[in-house]
Structure 1
Amino acid sequence: MFYGAVVWDPWFIVGQIVCLQCLYYLTLGVFLSFLVGTRVSHMSLVYFFDFATVTTSTVTGWCVIVSFLLSSVAG
């Protein structure tokens, strides 16, 4: 079995999902603060959740793209 003695533990699976999401957003925040935070005057959650910031027309947009790629590789 994949889970050892306990075959089905949904709370353990939910805990793993929550931990993975928290680690993803933590690494994304670190990469965004280093790459985008040095370019903008006010860092906000827009860079996390708004698709309009993911653009290739500005250098800040490229920094957002690189941040997403680096955090996905780190995950």
Structure 2
Amino acid sequence: MGIGLGIFLVVVGAVLRFGITADVQGIDLAAIGVILMLAGIAVVVLTLILMMLRSGRETEERLPGDDRRV
């Protein structure tokens, strides 16, 4: 879910930055677009780091009534 959210933020930010040419008084759409793109990239990077850290752990499972580890 994290990667999807990051990609969504990057796409919305890119649309705001490059796709919309309207001027809204008091709001800089280009700056908001850049902020959303950076946030999306950060979400994707953090999600990938967490996925790598989780995959490095060894899991231990115990079978019911058995003391052996699988």
TM-score over 0.5 (shorter chain): no
Please tell me the TM-score bracket, short chain as reference.
Answer: 0.3 to 0.5
Q: Highest CA radius of gyration, 1 or 2?
A: 2
TM-score normalised to structure 2 length: 0.42
TM-score normalised to structure 1 length: 0.39
